[in-house]
Amino acid sequence: MLKKKPATAEFLAWLQVLRSMELEPEDMNLETGKTEALALSFSILAKSGEDFAALKKEILKAADVK
C-alpha cells in the first residue's frame, strides 16, 4: 500500500494535528461525518504525494464517500 511507512515523528505530528482539529478516537469509525477532515490529516503521515493519494482513497472508499 504505502511506499514508505511513516516514522515515529510523523505519527506524533499526526496525533497533534488530530488534536488541533478536535478529532477524537470516536471519529475514526467513519460514521461521524468527519471523514474528509480525517482523510486530509493523512498528509502528515504520507511521505509522498502517491502515498497521500492512496491513504485518502482508502479512507474515503471505506466510508463510501464519493
Q: What is the pTM of this model?
A: 0.70
Q: Give per-residue pLDDT as tens, 31-57.
A: 667 777 888 888 898 989 999 888 888
Residue 34, all three cell numbers: 468527519
Query: How many domains does the chain divide into?
Result: 1
- Domain span holding position 57: 31-66
40 belongs to a structural domain? yes
- Determine how many CB atoms are found less than 10 A away from the CB of residue 40: 14
For residues 16 and 44, the answer to whether their CB atoms sit within 8 Å is no
24 belongs to a structural domain? no
Nearest Cα to Cα of residue 63 among 35, 24, 40, 25: 35
Degrees, nearest 5: CA angle 7-38-62: 100
**Choice between 29 and 14, residue whose per-residue pLDDT is larger:** 14
20 belongs to a structural domain? no
What pLDDT, on a 0 to 100 scale, did the predictor assign at position 8?
95
